[in-house]
Amino acid sequence: MVQKILAGDIRSIARAITLAENEDYQAVELMRSLYSHTGKAYLVGITGPPGGGKSTLVDRMIAYYRKLDLKVAVIGIDPSSTFTGGALLGDRVRMQAHATDSGVFIRSMGSRGHLGGLAVATADSAKILDAAGYDIIIFETVGIGQSEIEVASQVDTTVLVTVPGLGDDIQVLKAGTMEIADIFVVNKADRDGVEKSVMAIEQLLSTWDMTEDDFVPPILKVTAKDNIGIGELAQAIEQHKKYLHDSGKFEVRRRNRAVTEVHTLILNQLDKWAHDKMTKDITTRDNIEEVYLKFIDPHTVAREALRELELETMWDKWGQGADGGG
């Protein structure tokens, strides 16, 4: 499978992504073999509130990069899923014109219930696609929230897409998530209110604490449906890429990414362990019942549970300020 992926075999790439999504153990082995082949692709995140025309924008970006003869992969992430765990993924519709282009790979992804899993799946998928020779990998994410921030930490350039008339959303966005943006796009710029949106973003930017060395996010007016402004967007991405390299931040970002990835992987495993422990381990379950009945305090029970991992003494260390925590 490794050889086939490296050779760009579509079926194998698709299967490998499935393994990553399924959190199958084979994916771990696969990553081990593929990892040394990664690092060439440039990762772009396209994010923003629903109704922003992101899929159409991505569709046009694919066309743009294909003209430059670059291979493009897209991972469309839709974190909405029903309580049954099902998902209905429709981002592809806007990009289906590229379905038969052998230089384009499009994959739709649901969250399958927990966000940590999604972050691992997207990171692994990006590596698979990177190793398979895709030059540009685009993550498209719907909505603004935890999953966007996690995904943003995995890409090199994050493009935040909004549209005129979503003014209220900008208010919402201010609450912390807009900082992830390296580039702002006001899509559907043929509509009334485009200047108002641009001004709102400018105003927001003026409140950012930026030094001279920081990259000032450009604000681009784009009308994706009419293919207007796509070249400018690609250029802005290119400029941001250049900035990252020139400033040395590219390496900083990738180093941070390594940290985040390992961190996430550890947390995921611990989370699963904790979940199992609390649902399957009879002693722990009994103990939780006793917490409820106020016979024991929760700290004691957690400490007891952690004993299995020999982690119970961690608390003592933190308490003494010996080994960093938190």
Partner 1 sequence: MKPVKTAAKKKGQKKPAPAIKRAGKKIQAPQPSMVNKALVTDDLKKQIAEWQSNSVGPLLAKYPERKEKFLLTSGAEINRLYTPEDVGEVDYPKELGFPGQYPYTRGVQPTMYRGKFWTMRQYAGFGDAAESNKRYKYLLAQGQTGLSIAFDLPTQIGYDSDHPMSTGEVGKVGVAIDSLADMEILFDGIPLDKVSTSMTINAPASVLLAMYIAVAEKQGVSSSQIHGTIQNDILKEYIARGTYIFPPKPSMRLITDIFEYCAKEVPKWNTISISGYHIREAGASATQEVAFTLADGIAYVQAALDTGLNVDDFASRLSFFFNANNNLFEEVAKFRAARRMWARIMKERFNAQKPSSLMLRFHSQTAGSTMTAQQPDNNIVRVTIQTLAAVMGGAQSLHTNSKDEALALPTEDSVRVALRTQQIVAYESGVADTIDPLAGSYYIEAKTNEIEKTAMEYINKIDKMGGMVRAVEKGYIQSEIQESAYRYQLDVESKERVVVGVNKFTIQEEPMKNLLKVSQAVAEAQIKKINEIKAKRDNIAVQSSLEKIRQAAQGKDNLMPIILTAVKQYATLGEICQVLREEFGEYRESVVL
Partner 2 sequence: MSNKKTRILIAKPGLDGHDRGAKFIARALRDAGFEVIYTGLRQTPEAIASAAIQEDVQWVGLSCLSGAHNSLFPKVVEILKQKQAEDIKVFGGGVIPSDDIPGLKEAGIKEIFTPGATSKSVIDYINSN
DSSP string, 93-145: GGGGGGTT-TTEEEEEEE-TT-HHHHHHHHHHHHHHHHHTT-SEEEEEEEBSS
- Residues 42, 241: contact at Cβ < 8 Å? yes
Among partner 2, partner 1, none, what binds residue 51 when CB lies within 5 to 8 Å by partner kind? partner 1
In order of 62, 101, 105, 170, 212, the CA distances from 66 in angstroms are 6, 9, 12, 32, 35
Among 88, 210, 267, 311, binds partner 1 (CB under 8 A): 88
> How many chain residues touch partner 1 (CB under 8 A)?
8
Nearest-CA neighbor of 188 among 45, 55, 74? 55
Among 4, 6, 8, 15, binds partner 2 (CB under 8 A): 15
Instruction: In angstroms, give the least distance from the CB of 86 to partner 1.
Output: 12
* Nearer Cβ to partner 1 (93/282): 93
Among partner 2, partner 1, none, what binds residue 106 when CB lies within 5 to 8 Å by partner kind? partner 2
* Nearer Cβ to partner 2 (111/287): 111
Among 2, 18, 228, 277, binds partner 2 (CB under 8 A): 18
- Characterize the bridge pairing of strands 219-221 and 183-186: parallel
Among 8, 23, 38, 103, binds partner 2 (CB under 8 A): 23
**What is the 8-class DSSP label of residue 210?**
-
Q: How many CA atoms lie within 13 A of 50 on its CB side?
A: 8
Taking contact as CB under 8 A, which single stretch among the options 56-64, 104-112, 230-238, 244-252 is the one that binds partner 2? 104-112
* Nearer Cβ to partner 2 (85/298): 85
Torsion of CA 249, 253, 255, 261, to 10 degrees: 180
Q: What count of other Cβ atoms lies within 10 Å of the Cβ of residue 67?
A: 9
Regarding 60 and contact with partner 1 (CB under 8 A), the answer is: no
| Contact track, partner 2, 66-95, x by CB under 8 A | ----------------x-xxxxxxx-xx--
- In whole angstroms, give the CA distance from residue 283 to residue 83: 29
Sheet hosting strand 104-110, strand order edge to edge: 104-110, 72-78, 136-142, 42-48, 157-162, 183-186, 219-221
| Contact track, partner 2, 248-277, x by CB under 8 A | ------------------------x-----
Regarding 311 and contact with partner 2 (CB under 8 A), the answer is: no
Regarding 141 and contact with partner 1 (CB under 8 A), the answer is: no
Residue 162, C-beta contacts closer than 8 angstroms, at least 6 positions apart: 48, 49, 52, 169, 170, 173, 184, 185, 186, 187, 197, 201
Regarding 99 and contact with partner 1 (CB under 8 A), the answer is: no
Taking contact as CB under 8 A, which single stretch among the options 19-27, 29-37, 89-97, 130-138 is the one that binds partner 1? 89-97
Taking contact as CB under 8 A, which single stretch among the options 9-17, 30-38, 63-71, 239-247 is the one that binds partner 2? 9-17
Regarding 85 and contact with partner 1 (CB under 8 A), the answer is: no
- In whole angstroms, give the CA distance from residue 247 to residue 216: 13
- In whole angstroms, give the CA distance from residue 57 to residue 224: 5
Q: Which residues in this chain contact partner 1 in the complex, by CB under 8 A?
A: 51, 56, 88, 90, 93-94, 225-226
Q: Which residues in this chain contact partner 2 in the complex, by CB under 8 A?
A: 10-11, 14-15, 17-18, 21-24, 82, 84-90, 92-93, 96, 99-100, 105-108, 110, 112-113, 117, 272
